[in-house]
Amino acid sequence: MLIVEPVATNLPRRKRRSWTLEEKRRIVDESLKDGASIAETARRHDLNANQLFTWRRQFGFELDTASVVTTILPVTITPECEMETGSGGGSQMEIVLAGGDRIIVWADVQTAALTRVLKALVRS
């Protein structure tokens, strides 16, 4: 027969944190800034991201998925023409914008750099 006896521990109990309305509002406002990451904002304040989402809903800032518009751009794939070699010496991709401007990207382009260019074009 196995007998289990309770072991007394002197570990302090973890207390729940109490946030004032002003603190919650300040953190929610910080999470709403352009380019802010909810996860990073929550970590900065030693807070669970789910709690921050709850506060945002309580303040009336629910993510309205119906208002999020994803733009789908038309893409045309054409047979390979004469091959230009760029600095990467390999394959390339050409992006032709609606106004006729072209962006040529070689295989060695950095993803972060291309992302910045495309985001800038979307904003303009």
The two beta strands, 102-106 and 92-96, are antiparallel
**What pTM, to 2 d.p., does this model score?**
0.42
Asked whether the beta carbons of 93 and 104 are under 8 A apart, the reply is yes
> For residues 89 and 86, what is the distance between their CA atoms, to the nearest angstrom?
5
Reduce the DSSP state of residue 92 to 3 states and report it: strand
pLDDT tens column, 68-124? 566 776 766 676 655 555 455 568 888 777 777 778 888 888 888 888 887 777 666
Within 10 angstroms of residue 95's Cβ, the number of other Cβ atoms is 15
Which residue, among 64, 67, 72, has the nearest Cα to 122 in the 3D structure? Answer: 72
